[in-house]
Structure 1
């Protein structure tokens, strides 16, 4: 899987219940749990990476790129949800600050979603400070699906 260049971005679906809002109801951030790996259940294996979408796969116009990310998502997305856009280089840099080697890769083997990306190397500890650090980088890159359109 090729590494996504530092200057490029990945987007994750952010359900409306993971968005932090101010007193007027405006979105101002996301909860760190958005970056938590899911544990094993009866119906699925323990996650080993975070799913994302390679934004620049769809071109250079960010608006069109985000529409592509919404269209290709395997997760059901409502117009009340959000997309969180993360800079690949910044994700790796944050990992390094916690002595973690995070990888941001384009999963070119995924035939169902050609823009599928992974963030690998995040810890399984749901209280790890890395989750909060990733969440704090998304404040200016939280985009409403309603604003993106389809």
Structure 2
């Protein structure tokens, strides 16, 4: 598993709210996409796991907004796993605008693997746990 993953995204008009910047919920959507794509890059087959009755579920989001994203901005959503436990992982994100070297938001999410048939968290299987790589040092913004 690559320890750091970058999702590239260009802000579209339909992501802009009444205050003429990106709506807060979009930031969370981008982190979900980055987590999905990072997991897929490791061989995690979400569709197959859903058929078996398993999926990742958010237990907690923590978001610190620092600057607004605007229509047309080219963003990088950088993600990595910062902690892994038998029943959960903590994933961190930097939402960045490389054009002016701005970190727009810092996010962390606690994820659990759930048996969706009984709606309960389960321990991570060894093969999933072992594939997760935690970076040796805290990742920097994409322009560093």
Which one has the largest radius of gyration?
2
Structure with greater proportional strand content: 2
TM over 0.5: no
Asked which structure has the greater RCO (Cα within 8 Å, sep 6+), the reply is 1
